[in-house]
Chain A
Amino acid sequence: MGEVQKGLFSVIEKLKGNAELELRIVLLGLDNAGKTTLLKQLASEDVNTITPTQGFNIKSVASHGMKLNVWDIGGQRKIRTFWKKYLENTDLLIYVIDSADKKRFEETGMELSELIDEENLKGVPVLIFANKQDLATASPASEIAEGLNLHTYRDREWQIQACSAVSGEGVQDGMNWISNYIVHKKK
């Protein structure tokens, strides 16, 4: 059954006959981390009218000749249980952290390590955005990387990028990493 399904859907997928390279990116992180702001920043939309996400947002962004389908799923605790329904066929995980919310570093670390263990995200590269660097109380990206034990990740590519989703600073650097990684992988 499972195999038949896969076969049929790969057929349908090919039906679309996409000339350009399409990537499915899932954007996760705790509530108030800045996922939707980041998404809107990526899509060059207004970032001033963002409310807590109850469901999920999707934006298709053209970047480096690729089409990035970015799925931003609400981060509130009660919604996190739904995250795993969105992980299938994911090419890349973007994980957003509020660098100024030190009290919840542990919580965000737990959520990240749970994601890393997900079968559907096996070997999927992770880009971590150490967001809200515009705030004076923000921890530097290197400190967060250490706290998350990123150096122990051996089974996948990872990158941590300091940024401010509100101002857009650092966001493009993260996207460059994605395109570099993809180019290397596909060639």
Chain B
Amino acid sequence: MAEDTEWVVESIAGYLGSPEWTIPVADFMENKCTVFDDEDENKLTYTEIHQQYKELVEKLLENYMQEVGINEQQFLHACSSPFAKSKTLQAVFQPVLATDDFQMFRSLMVQKNMELQLQALRMIKERNGALPDCLVDGVDVMSELEQQEMRILQEVLKRSKEEYDLEMARHVQFEEEVGTTSSSCSIDSMPNGMSLKEAVQVQVSSASKVSTVATQKGEKRSAVPPTRDKEQQSPAKLSPALAANLPSEMGSECGKTLPAVRVPPKASAAPTMPRENSSGQAAQSWLEEAHKEAGISKPFAELSAAQQEQLQQRALYLRQQRDKLHALKKEQRPKQATPEDVPAAPTPAPGSQEGVPKKTVGPSTVNPSQPVSNNGQKPKEISVEEKKKLQKRKHLAEKLKEEVIKK
């Protein structure tokens, strides 16, 4: 009988050490552990996950017992024998006992979560050579950085507007010199300095109307220099882009956000690009961003009531889109923090990240919230959020280390 028991215990211990058991259990833990933090209070989802765990273990053990041909009595008998109480076997039995002991289960999950975080930290270190500063000094500068980011954004918007105004002034001057300003065009009948700004506003609110105006103008002024021409045709391209651009862009953006962070130096080069090739086109889109983001500045007052309203609606819509994007990004980030995703991402990042903003410069009038956040804001913003995340990881890691050492 004693021999019999010993055999059963050995078999059970063998099973608990075999991949048949360890793989599904480890899989389960790795997949579900991310919500387990070291807060005092338990989340209601813990219970649900514990329940799922019970079901998994139950299924595995039942299959095993059936396969080996032992019944529950034998199982119990074997497990309560002194042989099974030895130190080494206790550890093996822990995942089984966790089905009945929520606290034990919780601590297993919390530990697993910390292990994953630690692993992620190590991977960051390996890839970047060293941990970022934010992981070294451990001061929470989140809100400060956020404010800084806002200041930078405002500065960027201001500058882009100035640049645009300058560009426009040059154009007006140029037109006067060449003498192509025709009186037949409705837009040109307005005060000269205003006309293009006005046109830009109209483009946003009613793309179709503008496109006809633009083509008319294009026909009338075939002698106009190419930059001018290009600038006028860009709005015509808008309307189809409007439909196509938004959803696809949003998807690709979100997918790429994290990788972009990994190479902050490269990514930060992106914002300057559009400004350097400050053709009228780029400046135009920048201005519109500026108007949208800054809640519409000077020319706004000079618009008609209907246009103002349209603009405001537009601004509201854009803000909503931006918020949605933020939410999406936030959602994506925790997932990407898991180690499987981390190593997969980095290589394609720099190219695609730079590629996206370039493409959007032209049709950006349609989707103004994007280029700005793309070029000016995004890389910084991500690094900020990432920093916060990393910091949290660091804390966890420290705690884990402490625990390990204590043990």
Contact = CB atoms under 8 A, between A and B. Distances in A.
B80 A17 contact: yes
Interface string A109-122: 00000000000000
Interface stretch (A56-64, A143-151, A166-174): A56-64
A15 B80 contact: yes
A14 B85 CA distance: 13
Given A5-B58, A16-B97, A58-B102, A11 B44 contact: no
B103 interface: yes
Interface in A1-40: 4-5, 7-9, 11-17
Contacts of A4: 62
B28 interface: no
Interface in B55-87: 58, 61-62, 72, 75-76, 79-80, 85
Given A15-B76, A15-B80, A9 B99 contact: yes
A9 B42 CA distance: 23
Contact of B100 (A16, A55, A82, A86): A16
B41 interface: yes
A53 B103 CA distance: 18
B62 to A, nearest CB: 7
A82 B43 CA distance: 11
B96 interface: yes
Nearest to A85: B47
A108 to B, nearest CB: 21
A11 B12 CA distance: 14
B49 to A, nearest CB: 12
B101 interface: yes
Contacts of B58: 5, 8-9
B101 A16 contact: yes
A16 B54 CA distance: 16
A14 to B, nearest CB: 6
B21 interface: no
Contacts of B62: 4, 8
Given A11-B79, A15-B80, A56 B99 contact: no
Given A11-B75, A11-B79, A60-B103, A55 B46 contact: yes
Size band of the interface chain A makes with B: 20 to 34
Nearest to A73: B44
A79 interface: yes
B42 to A, nearest CB: 5
Contacts, number: 61
B93 interface: yes
Chain B interface main SS type: helix
B93 A15 contact: yes
Contacts of B93: 15
A58 B97 contact: no
Which of B44, B51, B54, B79 counts the most A-chain CB atoms under 10 A from its CB? B44
B41 A12 contact: no
B100 A54 contact: no
Nearest to A12: B100
Nearest to B51: A85
A79 B97 CA distance: 28
Contacts of A82: 44, 47
A7 B72 contact: yes
Contacts of B43: 54-55
A54 B43 CA distance: 7
B40 interface: yes
B72 A11 contact: yes
Nearest to B85: A17
Nearest to B54: A9
A7 B61 CA distance: 12
B322 to A, nearest CB: 29
Contacts of A16: 97, 100-101
B64 to A, nearest CB: 11
A12 B96 contact: yes
Given A11-B75, A11-B79, A12-B96, A58 B47 contact: no
B133 to A, nearest CB: 33
B16 to A, nearest CB: 12
A3 to B, nearest CB: 11
Contact of B41 (A7, A8, A55): A55
A135 to B, nearest CB: 26
A21 B226 CA distance: 89
B61 A15 contact: no
10 closest cross-chain pairs (CB), A and B: A55-B43, A11-B76, A12-B100, A55-B42, A55-B44, A56-B42, A15-B79, A7-B72, A55-B41, A13-B100
11 contacts: A7-B72, A8-B58, A8-B62, A9-B54, A11-B75, A11-B76, A11-B79, A14-B80, A15-B79, A58-B102, A82-B44
Interface of A: 4-5, 7-9, 11-17, 53-58, 60, 74, 79, 82, 85-86
Given A11-B79, A15-B97, A82-B44, 9 more contacts: A9-B99, A14-B76, A53-B41, A54-B43, A54-B44, A56-B41, A60-B103, A74-B44, A82-B47
